Structure 1
Amino acid sequence: MKQIVLTAVIAVFLIACKQKGDYKAYTNDPLLYSKTVKKLNNVVLENNFPPMIAARNYVYANIAAYECIAAGDKNYRSMSGQIKHMPAMPKPDTTKAPIDFSLAALFALTKVGNAVTFPEGSMMEYYNELKHNADSAGMPSDMLENTIAFSDSIAAAVLRWSKGDNYAKTRGAEKFTVREENGRWVPTPPMYATAVEPHWSKIRPMVLDSSSQFEIPRPPVFDVANNNSVYYKYMMEVKNVGDSLTEEQKHIADFWDDNPFKMNVSGHVMFATKKFSPPGHWLNIVGIAAKAAKADFNSTVGAYALTSIAFFDAFIRGWEEKYKSNYVRPETAINKYVSQEWRPYIQTPPFPSYVSGHATNSAAAAETMTSWFGDQLSFTDTSLLEFGIANREVKSFRAAAAEAAMSRLYGGIHYRFDNDEGLKAGRQIGELIVQRIKLRAN
């Protein structure tokens, strides 16, 4: 009898909670949004998306989420019109039932993330979990249905828009031809992989006017015949730094390595290990920073969206320069002209050296995050703990970008000028995004 009474009391309590609408505590939690982005990040990692494609996955998903927020909060402005080619987004219809715009953002991110990644349905189990949790937390059924309908309309509109960015066309573009000439990029050990995404500069930018906006100076003339040439000194700096790394420098190189697919070779055994790519790492930083800044749900979504745009456009500009310069990697030159046995501390990725993509992307992201959270926010970056790499303290976003750039010299995969010019270009890209995209209404 007591058990029956207890069961009845619990049932009444749950019904009361549902009627009181406790669902808001669940749907408005900014940490839930960061968790949802991390779910997408994990799908990207597990399925070996190259970093520039990962950036594309992230940007459309986060923009879809942001547009849900902007539709329900007058303090935020739609990106339609601010991004020149972005069409107007569907308007919410609250005549039938209210809409929970936070939950709509979560649904939209998950639906778009599911559509732009593989395997098919990779995000739908989580989508159903969100829906179940909102229902269990007390969201009225008519509100849940209308929230789903609105989020679906935004997701569909963003996906239609995404199809015009030339991604499909670049899938069928002609293969990159390796030029066996001194000073030109060739595949590097141990994978000797073909060049990754040589036509990425053809992707439609979000904010940049073109893939060549902002002039990047020519790299030093390749000259190994003269030990006093500018190039030779930079090449030897890479070797000398790599030969005398401190433990701190090794940690910096490992922490910012962000190689999504490292091939390990031990004798005749080869196996791959995975980590977050640069955009995945920086999106983790967004979540950590938002928590440190005690940002609310809508502000957190805005931070992710703006930083995703920074990465998307920075990859386009960086890749235009990479395949224009087609510059040799330090490892190739050192092996040919100095020491056949020399290897960089981290693995050289399969694309040309100039400019550093990580430097360009990190600097662009740092500018957008500084504009959002200020330049005084410091925090501990715990992103790499799950890969067994110790935390690093971040004094500012710009300091983190500078350290990420320097990590490529410590790692032995970039010359100093790759990093320096990448930082300059990325900073300009970030500043342009901040200038043109005004998310906050005031």
Structure 2
Amino acid sequence: MRTSLLNKLTLGFLSATLMISCAGKKENYQSTLHDPHLFSKTVKKLNDVVLENNFPPMIATRNYVYSTIAAYEIVAAGDPAHYQSLSGQIRHMPAMPRPADTAVIDFPLAAMLALTKVGNAVTFPEGSLMGYYDELLNMADSLGMPSAKINGSKAFSDTIVATIMAWSKKDNYAQTRSATRYNVTNEAGRYVPTPPMYAQALEPHWAEIRTMVLDSASMCRAQNPPVFNVTDKNSRFYRDMMEVKQVGDSLTDEQKHIAEFWDDNPFKMNVSGHVMFATKKFSPPGHWMNIVGIAAKKAGADFNTTVTGYAKTAISLFDAFISCWEGKYSYNYIRPETVINQVVDPEWRPFIQTPPFPSFPSGHGTASASAAEAMSSVFGDQLSFTDTSLLEFGIANREIRSFRQAAAEAAMSRLYGGIHFRFDNELGAESGKKVGELVVSRLKMKK
């Protein structure tokens, strides 16, 4: 009798200990895998692959938009009371698979798996992110997530990934890979390749890529750049051309820092005598995606809000670059460096390197203004933070007062850098703001 009682007590003690242990493990994996900072780390993994593979900014936006939408669709499926699918809101986006059994899905893990797998599929070389994908699964297992839940999360993630990837293949990206190159002519005021690489103009057919929210690539086109005029010193063009040179010749340390901080040249060619070598940084969309993570942390955003911030910003950047590129190759506007060399000083060079595509409108001005509207709608329009994005490239931090202030500074940086006229920046920012406002008004993500 006493032995039987002792056995019952021992069994009860062991059961209680096991229950406490399991509860502790459950809490452990949730506190780690449901941490929004881990999602930001996952996006940074994609950002690093984009950087290492020298993706130009417009292609980078395609990497970000499909992967973050995949993650968003999973959190929306996991919390339908507060979030709604983008299917139907983005008119050509198909209906997303629904989870058959939510009890066997950990939605944050599934969201990170989906982002990683889609990111892996739209970058190269294929497999670049699958090592990290396996790390996420191993982390879930080591933290005590039940195997049924790991498998369920992976299975649901795969259904979203397959649907997103099938949708992505219809955006005309593959068709534009074999499109004709930019036609270089000697027409006055027309863009021509710039030193030191004199590279082919990038992606002249990007306006043919399917938009997400805009009705057409030209819907928010930047309007009315000044007429090219180098004979009338009172013309808007001549004044703005001379401003680029005069500002560039007398930059303050602060202006130099602003130009370098927002340079975001993914592939700068350095020339020293006969030696040429490239250095890499984030592209403009990569910089803004990094800012999302910094802002989400400063705002104390939860996992789902953080995912929403990334997806909405990525959509805004994607459409902004399509809109901007439609303008660039409609106007084919000359770069400051080219015209200053032609009519003022053949030896003049900008502070930062001129990128290989037409000048008007400014890509950074357009995209930054669009991103600022998206981020303001998620995190508030007065969130201040320290942007540490460029520390890994040896460039000091900047204090940011708001997303819109950062966008205005990014646009102005192009004048300090000597690669854009003032009107490129100002009219580009106006266009980008319209794109961002349309994304915010048309997409109802959080209920």
Q: TM-score, normalised by structure 1?
A: 0.95
* Residues 225-374 of structure 1 aligned to structure 2 (within 5 Å): 225-374=231-380
- Structure 1 contact 18–138 (Cα < 8 Å) conserved: no
1:71 correspondence with 2:67: no
Distance 1:343 1:15 in 2: 68
CA contact (8 A) 2:221 2:327 kept: no
Bigger shift: residues 390-399 or 86-95: 86-95
1:80 to 80, 87, 106: 87
Give the Cα–Cα distance (whole angstroms) in 1 for the partners of residues 292 and 69 of structure 2. 15
- On the 8 A contact 2:372/2:403 being kept in 1, the answer is yes
Name the residue aligned to 1:183. 189
Q: CA deviation at 1:13?
A: 8.7
Q: Which residue of 2 aligns with 1:89?
A: 96
> Is contact 1:18–1:139 with CA below 8 Å preserved after alignment?
no
Aligned equivalents of 1:362, 1:256: Cα separation in 2: 10
1:8 aligns with none
- The answer to whether the 8 Å contact 2:78/2:107 transfers is yes
Q: What's the offset of the Cα at 1:183?
A: 0.3
The Cα offsets for residues 183-205 of structure 1, whole Å up to 9 and x where unpaired, read as: 00000000100000000000000
Q: Which residue in the other structure is 1:380 paired with?
A: 386
3-state secondary structure, aligned to 1:380: strand
* Structure 2 residue 18 is matched with structure 1 residue 16: no
Deviation track 1:314-338 (CA, whole Å, cap 9, x = no partner) reads: 0000000000000000000000110
Is residue 414 of structure 2 the alignment partner of residue 438 of structure 1?
Answer: no
1:405 paired to 2:411: yes
**Pair 1:14–1:113, CA change in 2 (3 A):** farther
Would the alpha carbon gap of residues 225 and 14 (structure 1) be closer, same or farther in structure 2, given more than 3 Å must change? farther
State how far apart, in whole Å, the 2-side matches of 1:221 and 1:357 are.
20
Q: How does 1:26-45 map to 2 (within 5 A)?
A: 26-45=32-51
Which stretch shifts more, 232-241 or 212-221? 212-221
- Computing the radius of gyration from Cα coordinates, the structure with the larger value is 2
Identity %: 69
Match of 1:6 in 2: none
Q: Take 1:15 and 1:141, find their aligned partners in 2: how far apart are those partners? A: 19
Q: Which amino acid aligns with 1:92?
A: P
Tell me how far apart the structure 2 counterparts of residues 226 and 90 of structure 1 sit (CA, whole Å).
62
SS of structure 2 residue aligned to 1:265: strand
Distance change (3 Å), C-alpha of 1:337 and 1:13: farther
Give the alignment's Cα RMSD to 1 decimal. Answer: 1.5
Is 1:47 the equivalent of 2:47?
Answer: no
Letter in 1 for 2:201: A
Q: Deviations over 1:349-398 (max 9, x none)?
A: 00000000100000000001111111121000000000000000000000
Aligned length: 430
Distance in 1 (alpha carbons) for counterparts of 2:46 and 2:221: 34
Does residue 199 of structure 1 match 2:205?
A: yes
Instruction: State the secondary structure of the residue aligned to 1:362.
Output: helix
Deviation, 1:261, is 0.2
Which segment drifts farther, 97-106 or 61-70?
97-106
Distance 2:174 2:223 in 1: 31
The alpha-carbon deviation at position 216 of structure 1 amounts to: 2.6
The alpha carbon displacement at 1:14 in A equals: 12
Q: Distance in 2 between matches of 1:214 and 1:90?
A: 33
Aligned match for 2:118, one of 99, 112, 115: 112
2:10 aligned residue = none
Say which SS state the counterpart of residue 392 (structure 2) adopts: helix
2:25–2:145 contact (8 Å) kept in structure 1: no
CA–CA separation in structure 1 for the residues paired with 2:389 and 2:223? 34
Residue 182 of structure 1 and its aligned partner are, at CA, apart by 1.3
Cα separation, 2, equivalents of 1:378 and 1:298: 21
Bigger shift: residues 420-429 or 14-23: 14-23
Partner deviation per Cα, 1:88-134 (whole Å, 9 max, x = no partner): 00011217x52100000000000000000011100000000000000
1:19–1:138 CA contact under 8 A, matched in 2: no
Q: Secondary structure at the match of 1:217?
A: coil
Q: 2: distance between equivalents of 1:421 and 1:384?
A: 27
2:272 & 2:77 partners in 1: Cα distance?
54
Residue 20 of structure 1 deviates from its aligned partner by: 4.1
* Mapped contact 1:335–1:342 kept (Cα < 8 A): yes
Residue 214 of structure 1: how far off its partner (Å)? 2.5
Compute the displacement of 1:17 (Å): 4.6
In structure 2, the residue matched to 1:210 is 216
- More off after superposition, 150-159 vs 173-182: 173-182
Structure 1 SS opposite 2:104: coil
CA distance in 1, matches of 2:320, 2:221: 13
